């Protein structure tokens, strides 16, 4: 039997364990496979692979505390969650941050809020409006 079709994304990380824990918990995913250099997270509709940034590139990347947002990238991942405010404290506890509640905007049946993960990768969480 072949595996189900899923939307997929690969996210490179300096700290695979920390970044995969962030997405595992904020998105309610499960671990499908795990090795030293990557973790495969899944839901029925999504497969997210968190992959170790190869050396020597990883040694050139400094992740500050709190992390500085990496806004100079062409991609922003966007995920539907049950509620933005319901995950706000979880995001912060896992090393990320969401923009303030007053910056949430509505578009095409969803409310959207940008933020970043523990390494500063920009991510958007959205919830169904209404």
Q: What tens digit of pLDDT does each residue of 80-95 get?
A: 999 999 999 999 999 9
Give the domain ranges of the chain: 7-55+73-128
Kindly report, residue by residue over 23-42, the tens digit of the pLDDT. Answer: 999 999 999 999 999 999 99
CATH number, span 7-55+73-128: 3.10.180.10
Give backbone dihedrals phi and psi of 88, rounded to 5 degrees, phi first. -55, -50
For the beta sheet containing 30-35, the strands, ordered from the edge strand earlier in sequence to the opposite edge, are: 7-13, 46-52, 38-42, 30-35
């Amino acid at each position: 039997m072949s595996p189900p079709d899923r939307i997929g994304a690969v996210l490179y990380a300096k700290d695979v364990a920390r970044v995969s824990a962030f997405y595992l918990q904020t998105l309610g995913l499960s671990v499908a496979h795990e090795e030293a250099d990557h973790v495969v997270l899944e839901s029925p509709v999504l497969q997210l692979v968190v992959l170790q940034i190869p050396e020597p590139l990883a040694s050139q990347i400094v992740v500050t505390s709190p992390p500085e947002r990496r806004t100079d990238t062409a991609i922003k991942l966007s995920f539907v969650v049950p509620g933005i405010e319901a995950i706000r404290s979880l995001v912060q506890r896992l090393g990320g941050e969401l923009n303030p509640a007053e910056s949430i905007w509505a578009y095409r049946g969803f409310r959207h809020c940008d933020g970043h993960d523990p390494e500063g990768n920009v991510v958007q969480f959205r919830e169904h409006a209404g």
